[in-house]
Amino acid sequence: MLTRRHFIQTTTALFSASISGPLLADTWPTEAQKAAWDAQVTPPGYDPATSNPWGVHPRFLPQRVVAKDGLVPGDIHVDAVARYLYHIEEGGTAMRYGVAIARGKLYEPGTYTIKRKVKWPHWQPTQNMIDRDPELYADIADGMEPGPENALGSRALYLYVGNRDTYLRIHGTPHPSSIGGRASSGCVRMIMAHINDLYPNVQTGSTAFLYSAEDSVVRQS
């Protein structure tokens, strides 16, 4: 049986090695539990284009838009100014979602590869996060089990540079009111019902472009 001490030691070792596989955890949710959580974070009668129990600005609801010429289907583009994520589709369209990005200088523009996808992931704050705000992370420094209150929410897309895990994610959030703002410690946040829709359409190996404010999709228009 995996003890709590061994779990912490093993998890620390895995993070130090820039893992490419799933973290060890105290518990693993069953498929039935995942389905129950999905139902919990999905509004009754959910319509992506109109359902808005979160009270976000209507422009942050999912919308199919015309994509710019030359963009590769399957890739993701994150606009730091408008707070949009675009998933490029075949036929010259894209699905657009509202997001929150990192606060201050924690936002890291760049080109990343999505090398992992996880439903109802586990999460552990990085050492940098703990160092910046030890009181905030004191009770969860060893990690959080999956569930609707987990910081990564219902789905996570893991961003890599080469084989290095950057610890940046595109993920669901238990704080939908943050959408449209700058709130995270580096990741791109989405409403859980929205990333649940996006998730099955994203393939591992796809590219994610996180644009700076100077080079955002909007400013290139």
Q: Is residue 77 part of a domain?
A: yes
Per the CB < 8 A criterion, the answer to whether 67 and 89 are in contact is: yes
- Domain with residue 188: its CATH number is 2.40.440.10
The DSSP letter of residue 201 is G
Domain that holds residue 139: 55-211
Q: List, for residues 59-106, the tens digit of each pLDDT value.
A: 999 999 999 999 999 999 999 999 999 999 999 999 999 999 987 777
Write out the catalytic residue numbers. Answer: 171, 187
**Which pTM does this prediction carry?**
0.81
Q: What is the pLDDT of residues 43-64, one digit of tens each?
A: 999 999 999 999 999 999 999 9
Q: Looking at the 3D structure of the chain, how many domains does it have? A: 1
The reply to whether 66 falls in a domain is yes
The answer to whether position 17 is within a domain reads: no
Is residue 201 one of the residues assigned to a domain? Answer: yes
| Three-state secondary-structure class, residue 76 | strand
State the Cα torsion 108-190-49-202 to the nearest 10°. 80
Torsion on CA atoms 183, 64, 78, 61, rounded to nearest 10: 0
In a domain, 125, yes or no: yes
